[in-house]
Amino acid sequence: MSRLDSLTRIALSFPLSPGASRSVYLPQAPEAKHRRSRTLCMRPRVAGMTEIIVELPRPSVDPFGGQNSRHGMRNRGQVVEQLLTRRSSAQQAL
């Protein structure tokens, strides 16, 4: 049995105070959490993606829901991306 196993068993034998966690991982400093969050947000930008937020009326969005399930896409954003790609390729063909 390793030392960590015995220490874990001892820690688990004590009652847990309200709001406390029995996690064996050390809590992260706020700076580390912020850095990890920024890194996750930067991944799409590094991959050449741009996020846009659009507010549309429900009747305009409803058709996208059916299209994404029929075409095996994960979300409505992929449907919009496909429509924009088709439109730009059609305009280039003219």
Which amino acid, residue 12? L
- Rounded to whole angstroms, the Cα distance separating 2 from 10 reads 13
Residue 16: pLDDT band (50, 70, 90) is: low
Angle at 91 between CA 88 and CA 94, to 5 degrees: 155
Residue 88, pLDDT score: 83
CA–CA distances in Å: residue 14 to residues 67, 84, 92: 55, 59, 70
User: Does the pTM exceed 0.95?
Assistant: no
Q: Give the start-end residues of each E strand in the chain.
A: none
Q: What mean pLDDT do residues 15-39 have?
A: 73
Residue 42: pLDDT band (50, 70, 90) is: confident
Chain position carrying tokens 């280039």: 92
